[in-house]
Structure 1
Amino acid sequence: MVLGLLLRVAGAEADRREREASSLHLRLAVLQLLMGGDVPLAQRTVAGASPGLLDVDWAWMSLLEMPVEERAQVARDCEELTAGRALVVPCPAFDNHVIVVVPVADVRGADGIGRALSEYVARCPQVFLGRSRFHPLAHVATAYEDAYRNLVAARHLPGRRAGHTARTEPADLLSAAEAARWASDLLRPLEVLPAPTRGQLLWTLSLALRFTAVRTAKIMGVSRNTVRSRMERVGELLGADLDDVRVRTALYVALQLRDRPAAPGRHGPGPGLPALIGTDAGRAWARDFLGPLDTDARDLHRTLGAWICADCGVEATAGRLGLHPQTVREHLRSTEALLGKELTAGGTDVYEVALAFLALYGTQRPVVEQVSLTVSPTVHS
């Protein structure tokens, strides 16, 4: 009798683990579809388990960071707090992150989940939280980026929480119609491909500009070789060197502008990205963006400018500046703290820095390096 009871308990536990694994795979699949912008398929996929969850137009995202060994418990706590009104997924790219996607029908509605998550983090001293603003459901990848930026900021805040605050996005500084035309021209070799291939390559490109190949592969559920193969094809189609930080920056901005209407009735090449960002508004944003570096006695502008010119290579930067590589790393860590950005781990913060230097100094690397290696009045004015 006792053995029979033990066997039934063991069987029930095995069934529970199997159900949890199935639920996790389903939620991960839905997240991957949303990250790729395939909302209809994501809605159909989740309909059986959570009817109506994604039948909305908007969503916001929270990223929670915790010690790796605490992730499973934090994910369960988030599921309990959200009570089936959100998609809770252990992040496939970072072993110490939990993703919470909160679909909303009305951005002006009550925000009970946001308050619950904030109160939860306040009670958990090892947990950090970054929250995005509201985004269309088709732009969950952008919401992730937004939340990640705030998570980076939360690491330096006493409350360990950071929500979206008003900030100027570099893409918003560009002339809408002219910038959309530039983006359309840049991405045209991809846009003319058959729909399945186009969607696959654009999704891969969008994620690979944000993450390493390994993390991109985990998010997409494919191999690293598949990601690298697709990126090689993108580079061939665009005739571009994707190892060049300037190229990656341009593609990142172009993807942000992809859905905007282009300027009508124009023929021939339009203004490029240096002209689009190098306006009075663009330069003012860049000076404000890089301004915190002036509070450090070291010339961090010099190091940062050379680092961008060297395609973010520490050894190459050290060689250009005649510094020890460890000194360059220390300068970059100080820069990250002052700007509230994550630079050395890759990601989109690097593109903001590149755009700031592009706005101030133009497109020529020697010019960028020469100006950034001296304390220019235009930087500090």
Structure 2
Amino acid sequence: MEVLGHGEGVAELLRLVRRQGGPAEVLELLARRTGAHVAWIGREGAVEAASAGFPRRLAGALTEHLERLAEGRVAAVTTRVGELEVHLQTFGGREPRPVLVTVGASALGREAATLVSQAGGILDLLSRASQADGGTRGYEAKAAQLRFAVLTALLEGNVTMARRMTTGDVPPLLDAERVRVHLLHCPPADRDRLTRTYLDPAGYHGPGLMVNCPVFKEQLICPVADDPGLGGRFRQGEVFRRLVEENPGYALGVSRPHPLAATAAAYGEAVHALAVARNSPGRLAAYRGRPSLAHVLPRRAALAWARAHLEPLRTVPEPTLDVIRLAVTFSRSGVARLLHLSRTTVTAHCRRAEEAMGIDLGEVRTRATLDLALSLTALRSDPADTVQRVAPPLGELLRAAPATAWAESFLRPLRDTRHRAPYRTLQAWTDANTDARRTAAHLGLSRNTVRAHLRAAERLLNRDLLTTGSGVHDVVHALRVTGAQRAQQPAESGQCARWSPADVAS
């Protein structure tokens, strides 16, 4: 035992706490200074921390005393258990109270008893701080869950549901008419720090939300109200631009403004813009891409085809449709994280849809066709639209002037003589079902070169090709329309036949 004056002992305890010492370290120091074994019994009646050598079996013999102390009926008790002198003292003002227990061969001296009392107060403060920190973490976790739920409702176009989720404390974003989605790429460890840094008292981020993407661990999805009048640190996304300027590992993709109910479209644009940003020196890009094929096809005829193509899915349950809408764009593991399902469950839903439609979702052209049909039926209908009874085949739609003009315009940046290599690689990559290894073998290139060509194509086309499937589908459609896409033969043949839009029958 090292005997110190009361003031010196307390000062040493405080120095230990300032060095981030926890309850166990405080108890060990107290045991050395008093010569007694020491334990901290928490509010649940269990030993939460103890010095080395504390006889834990002793707690059973002290049950009655511990109950009286925890209930606040007495503040301190001194008793003997066998040949041991036991002192128990309670702390805090809320029941059940924690108890500090000291055990020794003899009673504590005055200086030691005072030091024990001071140490108990410090341990109580540490305990309360830990509980407060736990409460803060719990609040932040619940707030993050609510932000994710609100974003999910917005991505589904259900603004009313998003407002209901906020139960009276509606974030400014939900009062905005238009929204831009900012998609921030950053190290995964930075995401939680950023969401905490810019968190407001209501659990939101001023006129925006910052939501950890559940699929891509390096991304923060940040819809922000496109309303300069709201001001604040998120006005027009200035905070995100500053983060990119100050952090070399960051990149930012920004959508165009969209109606709040069209947040999903804004998110899709932000995905494409981020792909461009990551391949740009400034690491920042706003979406300036061309419209997708679904937006240029003749409305009535395209909708009739889409409804006919999706007709077999009427027989599958709604959860399967929810999975399929995501599975055409994200990997199955990504869909599982988005919907909080197991990958096995996602696979079962995909198999059910494949059986209903007689398709293979492992084929990129199949996914592109299904995505086109889903996109067409998801577009807002015009009240003046009339239903076309006879559904044309997709090949007929792809030969029409709007589709051919779109495809030529879409692929034009790659047809420049300076970009022939990315163009050829893109063709071979889609022929190979987006398999980089097979593409490299077919072209006699390394896989790194293939990926470099695809990244160049991302920048030129303003489309994401390597993260989600949405940009790949536009490429598949454009190559189909121009006749440059060749049908993929079985892998073992090593041959690729020409593909024609006339080959599409539905």
Q: TM-score, normalised by structure 2?
A: 0.63
More helix by share: 1
Match among 139, 145, 156 for residue 19 of structure 1: 139
Which of 337-346 and 167-176 deviates more?
337-346
CA distance in structure 1 between the aligned counterparts of 2:261 and 2:125, rounded to whole angstroms? 49
Match among 368, 376, 380 for residue 249 of structure 1: 368
Q: What residue is the counterpart of 2:164 in the other structure?
A: 44
Q: What residue is the counterpart of 2:206 in the other structure?
A: 84
Q: How do 1:291-370 and structure 2 match up within 5 A?
A: 291-293=412-414, 294-296=416-418, 299-318=421-440, 320-321=442-443, 328-329=450-451, 331-361=453-483, 365=487
Structure 1 residues 156 and 328: CA distance shift in structure 2, 3 A: closer
Structure 1 residues 168 and 34: CA distance shift in structure 2, 3 A: closer
- What is the Cα deviation at residue 43 of structure 1? 2.5
1:8 and 2:131 aligned: no
Match among 237, 240, 257 for residue 356 of structure 2: 237
CA distance in structure 2 between the aligned counterparts of 1:188 and 1:309, rounded to whole angstroms? 28
Q: How do 1:128-167 and structure 2 match up within 5 A?
A: 128-165=251-288, 167=290
Q: 5+ residue gaps in structure 1?
A: 373-381
Which of 27-36 and 10-19 deviates more?
27-36
Q: Identical aligned pairs, as a percentage?
A: 34
- What is the Cα deviation at residue 217 of structure 1? 1.3
The 8 Å contact of residues 253 and 277 in structure 2, kept in 1 or not, is answered as yes
- What is the Cα deviation at residue 149 of structure 1? 0.7
- What is the Cα deviation at residue 110 of structure 1? 6.8
The 8 Å contact of residues 185 and 220 in structure 2, kept in 1 or not, is answered as yes
The 8 Å contact of residues 354 and 360 in structure 2, kept in 1 or not, is answered as yes
- Measured on the aligned residues, the alpha-carbon RMSD in Å equals 3.4
Q: What residue is the counterpart of 1:378 in the other structure?
A: none
CA deviation vs aligned residue, 1:300-345 (integer Å, no higher than 9, x gap): 4333223222322234445655666666455444434544443244
The 8 Å contact of residues 305 and 369 in structure 1, kept in 2 or not, is answered as no
SS in 1 for 2:407: helix
CA distance in structure 1 between the aligned counterparts of 2:241 and 2:157, rounded to whole angstroms? 31
Structure 1 residues 156 and 242: CA distance shift in structure 2, 3 A: same
More strand by share: 2
CA distance in structure 2 between the aligned counterparts of 1:18 and 1:228, rounded to whole angstroms? 33
1:94 and 2:213 aligned: no
Which of 54-63 and 244-253 deviates more?
54-63
Which structure would you say has the larger RCO, counting Cα contacts within 8 Å and 6 or more residues apart?
A: 1
Structure 1 residues 166 and 328: CA distance shift in structure 2, 3 A: closer
Amino acid paired to 2:295: D
CA distance in structure 2 between the aligned counterparts of 1:295 and 1:345, rounded to whole angstroms? 27
Q: What residue is the counterpart of 1:379 in the other structure?
A: none
Paired residue total: 365
- What is the Cα deviation at residue 118 of structure 1? 4.5
CA distance in structure 2 between the aligned counterparts of 1:7 and 1:169, rounded to whole angstroms? 57
Which of 235-244 and 51-60 deviates more?
51-60
Amino acid paired to 2:477: L
The 8 Å contact of residues 301 and 392 in structure 2, kept in 1 or not, is answered as yes
- What is the Cα deviation at residue 184 of structure 1? 1.3
Match among 189, 195, 213 for residue 312 of structure 2: 189
Amino acid paired to 1:88: M
Q: 5+ residue gaps in structure 2?
A: 1-120, 490-494, 500-506
